[in-house]
Structure 1
Amino acid sequence: MFYSSLSRHLALLAVVSVANAWFRLPCTGPLVQERVDPILSPTQVPSQHVHTVHGAYSEELAVRWHPVQLTRMIPDFKANSTFDTLRASKCTSCQVAQDLSNYWFPKLYFRDPKTKMFEAVPNGGLLVYYQNRGSLDKANGGPGLKAFPPGFRMITGNPVARSKKYQDGLGTQAELAERAIAWACLRYTTSNPDYYGTGGFPHTDCEAGFQSRLHFPACWDGKNVDSADHRSHVAFLSILDNGSCPSTHPVGLMKLFYEITWDIHSFAGRWKESDGWPFVYATGDATGYSFHGDFQNGWDVNVLQNAIDKCNNPNDDTINGVADACSYFTMIPAANAASCQLPSVVNEEVKGPFAKLPG
């Protein structure tokens, strides 16, 4: 489903009018790009497809992900020990020092219509929005939102999805989960305006970048930091980007929203629209419906709670989501964040060109 720029901007204005504290967390180059997935495949290295991972790196995390050491480390693979491992990290590829979380999502590839070979599409890092949304926010008369607890983790999206199942607007958790996968085709020209959609890929070049977008649940059951499917302990707000929480999940959290901008324009001279859109996710998905994202909490919980409660001053840039304006955050220079990289533990090529995707 496509949206016009005007309608999208009007919708954003409506959301901003009820927002309280929020901030944008910039993450520079990836921590690592390979087939690892500590949530869905904690005992399987390599995992099923290539992910781009951002965030914290500790020596313990590197050892735990290494296939040679995996058997020895599995007995200690618990939610709390994972949180403790992240809190012991020596660096992060994101730019707030108190956030030692991990964020990851599948990589995008270009499949050349002539050679049928796959090549990795470069992306400009990751931008994570931490948004105060919903009726539980203090700005909307609620008790206030809570910081993610130690050991908390969750996923959004479905890596095996290949088509749309639900009519937009049903408001069920299944429909909201489907609509949580979105994209923007950025052009920045009046003759070729931006356009937006959910689920399936666009059909044109995006001169200023193709942007994958992910909405995460913002309602928590208040008890479990994870669940067997990594979804059931959380729920979406009733209208996805705002609204109320279901009674089964009465605790409001900061709503995470990922933006990843891929440079598909660098391949513009190698395909035409009659070829069909030549980009696929690392899942092998040429439809776009399988995009998904993971979050593993590594925050200093007290710092995040203070930011939620107090970094909402209308007289400074916290009102505009500028993380640097929140006095509880220590910002990391972009060059320092970019130097934080986890050595690859899977011995395979992930950039291409190659005839078959890894996995």
Structure 2
Amino acid sequence: MYWSNRRSAALAAALTLYSGSAEAFWRLPCRGQAGVARMDPLVQPGVPSDHAHVIHGASNFALTVDQDILRASKCTSCAVKQDLSNYWVPSLYFMHKNGTAEMVEEVGGMLAYYLLYGDNIKAFPANFRMVAGDPFLRNFTWPIPDPPKSEWSGDQVSQFALQQKAIGFNCLDYSKQPEASLYRHFLPDKDYLDANCKDGVRFELMFPSCWNGKDLDTPDHKSHMAYPSLVMNGDCPPGFETRLPSLFYETIWNTYAFKDKEGEFVIANGDPTGFGYHGDFITGWDPDFLQQAVDTCTNPSGEVQDCPLFELQSEEDQQQCKFEVPEILKLENAIFDLVGLPGNVLIQRGPEEATKGATSQPALGGISIPTPSLPGLDLPLPSLIQNAVNQGVNAINGAASSSAATTPAVTTAPVLTYSPAAPTPTPLTTQSEVEVVTMRMQVVVTVDCDGNPVGTTTRPASAIATATETETITTTLPPTAPAAAKRDQVPGHIVHGHAHRRRNYKGGVDGWF
């Protein structure tokens, strides 16, 4: 609790330094993670998202959600029971030298600040949602560090510039004077973090707070919102005069736990720069109650305990609230992956924008093994486990090497000419289209407390992708001695008029404990 209060006091001071004023606010602790998964019902509803997120808030978080679904949640991983919203950001990973991705510990969960900047602030309406940041950015196109705000003008106050300045990476050392919020807009490299940030790094994200007053969402999940002229506060642009609560996300990652280890830190969307950091919000508040809180909860302490409207729950209860992971993702481990970022996301360093949907390997190229909860087991996993899994891959690939799906159509048929006097070899050429079916086979590797494999279990293979390939086969027929012409040697007769089926099985392995 002492550490938590010290962190909160430091952030409150930093926020004041950045904004230049001390407005009313409350700080919503979300000490529990509702889950970590490749899910984003705002940007990619109904399907697994491209990259992993750490999610806080209502237990009814799912691949598709709306206000009614969230309001029916049984619990929340945040402190205020009346808040059934969801808050999520991409998780941070440490990429070990051997290619494994290990999620960095999120310290203390998330803090979601409700900053009450501006006049006549309105509550989020039912079904309101928005995104802050751009996951594809890999560059910062403005002066570093930010010039004084009094000098911002022209393009410096464009929405594109303000969006980029709404991201911060705060190097934490509680024995020193704190950095101001949103002071640094890029993720420092590992050498800097090791040398200077013994209490980790705080990821900060400011959401726009100026609303167009009519749209609950837009196709890009941004165009209905705008930043005020100074990011946190300032003037709203024309057409966006309605002020909503200013949301500010804070998550602290224990990067210092990887001090002196070889590797780098990468955000789940394949971003080692930090410029592509982003976050999502879907409200689950009752709008009337939230409006009452906006008007009433104005104690300058910012503590939710100082607002008499809020019904609070313990940190233990917050940490017990989890959402149900959909069946399609239950075998995927978003905490530890042997071969790269969850979803096989390609690491793209910029400065050009990242390519949407880019992956680091084919869908079957990797094996994702969840982290075993075994005492004394140090990560990354022992190479003995990796060897066991590799043996399983080799066994599968050796046991079945092809698969088939359709009957190919013969497009070229040879014509043999009867020539009894001079028999010569005859080339026979066929061209066919083959549908290749990609299969996935799952292998469970069981380990003991020392991390040694003690058994494996193989689950049935299943098809996960198809592709059509064209192949040409040329066969040389041996010469034959002159003989009486048979029906298949009569000039002009097609000797290869039937089709062949090919089996072209491509094996792959997923592993879990």
**Is the pair's TM-score, using the shorter chain for normalization, greater than 0.5?**
yes
Contact 1:31 1:341 in 2 (8 A): yes
Q: Choose which of 182, 188, 200 in structure 2 pairs with 1:209.
A: 200
Aligned partner of 2:456 in structure 1 is none
CA distance in 2, matches of 1:298, 1:51: 19
Q: Which runs of 5+ in 1 are unaligned?
A: 1-5, 66-76, 138-143, 313-317
Report what 1:48 is aligned to. 50
Within 5 Å, which residues of 2 pair with 1:250-265? 250-265=241-256
Instruction: For residues 15-36 of structure 1, give each alpha carbon's deviation from its aligned partner in whole angstroms, at most 9, with x where no partner exists.
Output: 46451x3100000121110100
Query: 1:255: Cα distance to partner?
Result: 0.1
Post-superposition Cα deviations, 1:268-301, rounded to whole Å, max 9, x if no partner, equal 1314xxx7xx100011111111110000000021
Higher RCO by CA contacts (8 Å cutoff, separation 6 or greater): 1
Q: Could you tell me which residue of structure 1 aligns to residue 265 of structure 2?
A: 279
Q: Secondary structure at the match of 1:105?
A: strand
In the alignment, the residues of structure 1 paired with residue 133 and residue 49 of structure 2 have an alpha-carbon distance, to the nearest angstrom, of: 17
Which amino acid counterpart does residue 106 of structure 2 have in structure 1?
Answer: N
Cα deviations by residue, 1:211-257 (Å, 9 ceiling, x for unpaired):
10000001100100000110000110110011111121010011000
What are the superposed Cα offsets for residues 63-89 of structure 1, whole Å, 9 maximum, x if unpaired? Answer: xx3xxxxxxxxxxx6xxx711111111
Which of 219, 235, 238 does residue 229 from structure 2 map onto? 238
1:173 to 148, 159, 162: 159
Q: Which of 85, 98, 102 is 1:119 aligned to?
A: 102
Name the CA shift for 1:130/1:162 in 2 (closer, same or farther; >3 Å). Answer: same
> Match of 2:495?
none
Percent of aligned positions that are identical: 40
Shift, 1:354, TM fit: 1.6
Residue 336 of structure 2 aligns to a residue in which SS? coil
Contact kept in structure 2, 1:153 and 1:295, CA below 8 Å: yes
How is 1:32-71 mapped onto 2 (pairs within 5 angstroms)?
32-44=35-47, 46-58=48-60, 61-62=61-62, 65=63
Q: How many residue pairs get matched?
A: 313
CA distance 1:256–1:90, change in 2 (3 Å): same
Q: TM-score by structure 1 length?
A: 0.82
Mind listing any 5+ residue stretches in structure 2 that lack a counterpart? 1-9, 147-151, 344-513
Whichever residue aligns with residue 160 of structure 2, its letter is A
Structure 1 position 349 matched with structure 2 position 353: no
Partner of 2:71: 87
Q: Verify the 8 A CA contact 2:33 2:56 in the aligned structure 1.
A: yes
> How many Å apart are 1:115 and its aligned residue?
2.2
Compute the TM-score of the two structures, normalised by the length of structure 2. Answer: 0.58
The answer to whether the Cα contact below 8 Å between 1:149 and 1:301 also exists between their aligned partners in 2 is yes
Asked if 1 retains the 8 angstrom alpha-carbon contact of 2:201 and 2:252, the reply is: yes
User: What's 2:172 paired with?
Assistant: 186
Query: What amino acid sits opposite 2:319 in the alignment?
Result: A
Q: Decide which structure has the larger Cα Rg and report it.
A: 2
Which residue of structure 2 aligns with residue 12 of structure 1?
Answer: 16
Distance 1:161 1:281 in 2: 12
Task: Pick the aligned partner of 2:81 from 97, 113, 125.
Answer: 97
Question: Over aligned residues, Cα RMSD in angstroms?
Answer: 2.2
- Aligned partners of 1:261, 1:227: CA distance in 2, in Å? 30
In the alignment, which residue of structure 1 is the partner of 2:316? 335
Q: Which amino acid aligns with 1:223?
A: K
Residue type of the partner of 2:268? A
Candidates 309, 323, 326, aligned match of 2:307: 326
Aligned partner letter, 2:59: Y
Residue 153 of structure 1 corresponds to 129
Inter-partner Cα distance in structure 2 for 1:50 and 1:151: 23
C-alpha contact 1:188 1:194 (8 A) present in aligned 2: no
CA contact (8 A) 2:209 2:226 kept: yes
1:28 aligns with 2:31: yes
Q: Distance in 2 between matches of 1:320 and 1:327?
A: 13
